[in-house]
Chains A and B, each alone.
Chain A
């Protein structure tokens, strides 16, 4: 009788453990994004211009270089910051200066930002400056977009493709 009760007790322990694992394997549900909202994601990695323009080396300068390092041009390693703006329906969501990565500041500037917006039609304006100038923008894209609730729209940037890409 005692043995039977013990087996029953073991069954209860096993059942409780199984219930615990079964429940917490998927519950409680986590709401990671507000219901009824849409999302705009701005992300790119882009190498801006060098802080100084490349120039030709003089013959004297070339002669001073070790034979295996001789080249006609030299370029500054450091790149300028990338200036980015994002406006949605006239509201500025982002205005930021992105530093190039790398110890010498010679890598691309990168960004990865998410914005929750109301679903519906929006006028989106994205601007980017990657030149040595201090005013104005080298790239600007205006796009009217429609976002449904829960939709995710990505804005990428590729200079080779002409600027901002809406996906």
Chain B
């Protein structure tokens, strides 16, 4: 396999999964959110049916909504991940070596069991050779090796970080995003109504979606009415 370019290699180094599993999940999620916000805004900016006046409001509003959403998600999740990783680390420091050894032994046995039996329908079942290699690496005279102890500590800390990333993703996606999206769409609608009072008699979508401005019904351009609006409630809204 040929070597990828230097920039890709450097990027891959940033994605080091050994230490910060939670942060990695958060960064990948934030990247997806950035792309989604940019594609929404780009769609508004490049839409031929949107007037230049509307674009002046919609494009900055789309960027601002995306930035607020992603910024809040990132700040909250980062604090959660770091806080939980620290509390897991502090907890490990309070444990006696015997306690860590017994926990590690339990962790190793579960891991070996899982490799022997596999998960659902035997999926992920490993070969006898692999299990031998696993036992040699993780156990010595029925006691966990130094490698196994390190692996347990790392996994406990990383697991706490992943829990933080999950909580951040749930709160961000289920609460922050809808609130920011719905409120900002309402504000944008009010600004547009001030400039164009006719819009007050027309329905609007409670989220920033440039697609609803492209009103095409049965393939023809139509004025924005409730009927065409309802037809367009089934339109696209990008999400990664």
A is bound by B: no
